[in-house]
């Protein structure tokens, strides 16, 4: 097992070395191909530094199982905090000392119990042990109750999910392509229900996933519009339409169609809430 105390320094050292290497090599075309002649903005050394640094950063994130530069910042902060707690001490030695201390504490507890029994009257020992037994039983009862409550909560969630799926399957006016998003919108298998509120990295991952789900749903709506399966809802305008003029919106660009699709999604969700 390596020393976690030095992990942050090693990681930051890699970043500094790579950045220095990229800057020193600013006259070499991207990719190391000396025959390639960059064009336009690619000739700017700053562009090359940024591109190669990003590539290196992506490799670091992948190696450590991280999702974003912010995750890397949190990762390094945690390592720095640990380094501050253990200083330059060897981590393996600290673990061994901790295990030794646990054994000593168990021995001291046993010796303390023996000493107390020698000093107590028999009836005092019995009363004390009975009290400890009651406290232990109470603790176990609380644990069992908490476990039972968790099981009941899990059962309730499963029944809720099943009920929502059954309900949506009977809604013929809702396209099948919408069901996954609508069900998640109603809480079925929604990661926000289980995310650890104290885990910033988990929250960011959840947010990214939900955003991807929404964007996928948005593309589904746009595709249905392009296929002629739906009509874009009428958009309220402050300007009065001319008599006899067709007020049906016409979208000439993808950007305009996306705006129309978003309004459709908002109206659809609002009508179901």
Q: Which domain holds residue 230?
A: 171-238+246-272
Indicate the residue among 129, 148, 170 that finishes a domain: 170
- Evaluate whether residue 111 is within a structural domain: no
Higher pLDDT, 156 or 77: 156
State the pLDDT confidence band at 44, using cuts at 50, 70 and 90: confident
* CB 70 within 8 Å of CB 204: yes
Q: What is the pLDDT of residue 35?
A: 47
Q: What's the pLDDT tens digit per position in 19-39? A: 454 444 444 444 444 444 455
pLDDT over threshold 60, residue 48? yes
Q: Average pLDDT in the 44-71 region?
A: 80
Q: What is the pLDDT of residue 136?
A: 92
How many separate domains does the chain show? 3
Same domain for 149 and 124? yes
- Evaluate whether residue 91 is within a structural domain: no
Same domain for 38 and 51? yes
Indicate the residue among 32, 63, 86 that finishes a domain: 86
Q: What is the pLDDT of residue 135?
A: 93
State the pLDDT confidence band at 268, using cuts at 50, 70 and 90: low
Task: Say which DSSP state 59 is in.
Answer: H
DSSP string, 205-234: HHHHHHHHHHHHHHHHHHHHHHTTSS-PPP
Residue 124 to residues 121, 134, 136, 164, 203, Cα–Cα distance (Å)? 5, 15, 18, 60, 53
Same domain for 208 and 135? no
Same domain for 265 and 208? yes
- Evaluate whether residue 195 is within a structural domain: yes
* Single pTM value for the model: 0.42
pLDDT over threshold 70, residue 182? yes
- Evaluate whether residue 10 is within a structural domain: yes
* CB 82 within 8 Å of CB 5: yes
- Evaluate whether residue 36 is within a structural domain: yes
Provide the mean pLDDT of the chain: 76
- Evaluate whether residue 254 is within a structural domain: yes
* CB 72 within 8 Å of CB 66: yes
pLDDT over threshold 90, residue 138? yes
Q: What is the pLDDT of residue 57?
A: 84
Q: What is the pLDDT of residue 271?
A: 64
Q: Average pLDDT in the 199-226 region?
A: 86
Q: Average pLDDT in the 204-225 region?
A: 87
Higher pLDDT, 213 or 240: 213
CB atoms within 10 A of CB 87: 7
Same domain for 82 and 155? no
Higher pLDDT, 100 or 14: 100
Q: Average pLDDT in the 145-159 region?
A: 89
Task: Say which DSSP state 66 is in.
Answer: -
Same domain for 183 and 166? no
Higher pLDDT, 31 or 269: 269
């Amino acid at each position: 097992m390596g020393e976690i105390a030095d992990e942050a320094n090693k990681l930051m050292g890699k970043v500094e070395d790579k950045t220095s290497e990229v800057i020193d090599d600013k006259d070499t075309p991207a990719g190391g191909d000396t025959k390639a002649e960059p064009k336009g903005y690619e000739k700017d050394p700053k562009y090359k530094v940024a591109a190669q640094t990003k590539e290196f950063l992506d490799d670091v994130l992948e190696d450590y199982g991280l999702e974003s530069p912010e995750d890397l910042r949190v990762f390094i902060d945690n390592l720095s905090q640990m380094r501050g707690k253990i200083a330059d001490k060897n981590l393996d030695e600290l673990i061994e000392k901790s295990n030794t201390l646990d054994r000593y504490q168990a021995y001291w507890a046993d010796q303390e119990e023996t000493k107390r029994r020698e000093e107590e009257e028999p009836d005092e020992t019995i009363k004390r042990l009975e009290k400890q037994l009651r406290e232990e039983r109470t603790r176990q009862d609380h644990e069992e109750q908490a476990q039972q409550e968790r099981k009941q909560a899990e059962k309730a969630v499963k029944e809720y999910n099943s009920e929502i799926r059954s309900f949506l399957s009977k809604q013929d006016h809702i396209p099948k392509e919408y069901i996954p998003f609508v069900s998640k919108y109603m809480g079925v298998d929604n990661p926000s229900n289980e995310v650890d509120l104290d885990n910033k990295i988990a929250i960011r991952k959840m947010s990214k996933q939900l955003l991807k789900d929404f964007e996928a749903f948005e593309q589904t709506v746009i595709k249905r519009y392009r296929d002629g399966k739906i009509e874009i809802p009428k958009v309220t305008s402050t300007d009065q339409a001319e008599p006899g003029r067709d007020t049906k919106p016409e979208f000439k660009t993808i950007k305009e169609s996306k705006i129309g699709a978003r309004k459709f999604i908002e109206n659809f969700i609002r009508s179901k809430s």
